């Protein structure tokens, strides 16, 4: 069995224009002061990384690593969640997702998609330069507007949707394969890859591409009422990244999974700081250890109640407590009689 690495922290929700959250070195010093040993870097935020430069310049990538390591941390992974979203956008969502792209290509869906694909390919090269082995992203969505079908979905529309999604992602997956990096899709409502079945259909459509893998975040499964522990049993071979994020689901006679268009704080399903929700992290960490997960445990803070700095401080402590130092021996080794073929035959009645 392998030891899970961590705690690490996803920087996306903490970055701002106020110190110490306004540049890579200062936010890394802050993270280290809380007990984190890794940082996951959002590649769309120029305050912490120049993605193009990290892809094209080994010297810059080395400087980036040195900045993080000078604070006593490691880079766990890079993230292209926002760019990955733009690889596949249904026209109904064009206006809402346009802000994820540079201003000069907003309102130009074809140019925006091409830019997003290029961003992912840059991320593959940057990950290689940084000596990383996994990368986080979103799949985007062409079919999400049909998730609860009324009127019913026309025959073949889902098959065609996954075929198109795979067509868009295959050149990217091949770039990650060339870089020797696993591409991990966060399984997330709003994405075409939002549960086990949809991941399987996409994976099949890519020809079972070896670099198509999973970022596991149990909070999204609580909100879907999916068995997040059995999910690990089914998909542990694909889980190469892990976001430690809590959630709770408290349905009422007025609202359930869909939330009634309410703000997060009033929804039956809502994200919470680690340890404040309903996720059974002890069982998750046990299962991941059982299946030899050797990646990072990365805190993602998204709580509608608790302050992010308190959530980060408590999250570091709780993840450290959840991480299991796996055993190197069996508990009953003391009673072992060793290996004796003659004795085995005698026990089996074969002598």
CA atoms within 13 A of residue 298's CA, in its CB half-sphere: 32
Reported as a single tens digit per residue, the pLDDT across 37-89 is 999 999 999 999 999 999 999 999 999 999 999 999 999 999 999 999 999 99
Which tokens is 207 given?
């020809």
Query: Burial level of 303, CB count in 10 A (0-12/13-18/19+)?
Result: buried
Cα distances from 335 to residues 260, 329, 331, 332, 346, in angstroms, run: 60, 12, 9, 6, 19
Across residues 149-161, what is the average pLDDT? 97
pLDDT (tens digit per residue) in 193-230: 999 999 999 999 999 999 999 999 999 999 999 999 99
Residue 334 above 80 pLDDT?
no
Q: What is the mean predicted confidence (pLDDT) over 242-255?
A: 98
Give the count of domains, the chain: 1
Give tens-digit pLDDT for 78-95: 999 999 999 999 999 999
- Residue 336 has a pLDDT of 82
Average pLDDT, rounded, for the chain: 97
| Residue 17 DSSP symbol | S
CB 94 within 8 A of CB 51: no
pTM of the predicted model as reported, rounded to 2 decimal places: 0.96
- Domain range holding 46? 5-347
Q: How do beta strands 134-137 and 74-80 pair?
A: parallel
What pLDDT does 332 receive?
A: 80
Instruction: Note if the bond before 168 is cis, omega within 30 degrees.
Output: no
Q: Kindly state the helix (H) or strand (E) to which residue 7 belongs, with its residue range.
A: strand 5-10
Contacts of 191 (CB under 8 A, 6+ apart): 85, 138, 139, 140, 141, 144, 185
Tens digit of pLDDT for each residue in 265-308? 999 999 999 999 999 999 999 999 999 999 999 999 999 999 99
Residue matched to tokens 């030891």: 3
Residue 351 has pLDDT above 80, yes or no: no
Q: What gap in Å lies between CA 305 and CA 182, rounded to an integer?
A: 34
Q: Is the pLDDT of residue 330 over 90?
A: no
User: DSSP states of 130-170 as a string?
Assistant: TT--EEEE---BSSGGGSS-SSPPPTTHHHHHHHHHHHHHH
Q: What is the mean pLDDT of residues 175-203?
A: 98
Percent of the chain with pLDDT over 90: 94
Mean pLDDT of the 137-155 span: 97
Look up residue 103 and give its two tokens.
Answer: 């201003």
pLDDT > 90? residue 335: no
Find the CATH number of the domain harbouring 146.
3.20.20.150
What is the three-class DSSP state of 253? coil
Location of structure tokens 């198509």: 212
Average pLDDT over residues 304-317: 98
Location of structure tokens 């940082």: 39
Q: 161-181 b/e with 16+ CB inside 10 Å = b?
A: bbeebbebbeebbebbbebeb
């Amino acid at each position: 069995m392998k030891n899970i690495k961590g705690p690490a922290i996803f920087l996306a929700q903490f970055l701002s224009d106020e110190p110490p959250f306004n540049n890579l070195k200062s936010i890394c010093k802050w993270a280290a002061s809380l007990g984190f040993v890794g940082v996951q870097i959002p590649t769309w935020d120029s305050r912490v990384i120049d993605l193009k430069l990290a892809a094209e310049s080994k010297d810059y990538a080395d400087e980036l690593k040195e900045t993080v390591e000078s604070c006593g941390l490691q880079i766990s992974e890079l993230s292209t969640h926002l760019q990955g979203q733009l690889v596949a956008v249904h026209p109904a969502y064009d206006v809402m997702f346009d802000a994820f792209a540079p201003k000069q290509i907003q309102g130009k869906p074809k140019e925006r998609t091409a830019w997003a694909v290029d961003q992912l390919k840059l991320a593959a090269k940057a990950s290689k330069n940084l000596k990383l082995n996994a990368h986080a992203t979103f799949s985007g969505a062409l079919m999400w507007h049909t998730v609860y079908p009324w009127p019913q979905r026309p025959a073949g529309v889902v098959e065609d949707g996954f075929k198109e999604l795979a067509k868009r992602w295959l050149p990217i997956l091949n770039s990650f394969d060339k870089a020797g990096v696993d591409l991990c899709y966060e399984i997330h409502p709003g994405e075409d890859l939002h549960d086990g079945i949809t991941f399987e259909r996409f994976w099949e459509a890519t020809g079972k591409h070896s670099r198509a893998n999973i970022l596991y975040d149990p909070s999204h499964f609580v909100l879907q009422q999916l068995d997040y522990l059995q999910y690990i049993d089914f998909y542990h071979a694909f889980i190469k990244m892990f976001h430690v994020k809590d959630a709770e689901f408290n349905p009422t006679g007025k609202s359930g999974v869909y939330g009634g268009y309410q703000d997060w704080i009033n929804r039956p399903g809502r994200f919470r700081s680690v340890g404040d929700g309903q996720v059974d992290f002890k069982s998750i960490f046990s299962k991941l250890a059982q299946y030899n997960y050797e990646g990072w445990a990365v805190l993602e803070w998204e709580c509608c109640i608790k302050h992010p700095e308190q959530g980060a401080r408590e999250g570091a402590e709780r993840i450290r407590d959840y991480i299991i130092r796996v055993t190197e021996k069996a508990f009953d080794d003391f009673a072992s009689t060793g290996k004796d073929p003659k004795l085995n035959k005698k026990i089996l009645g074969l002598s």
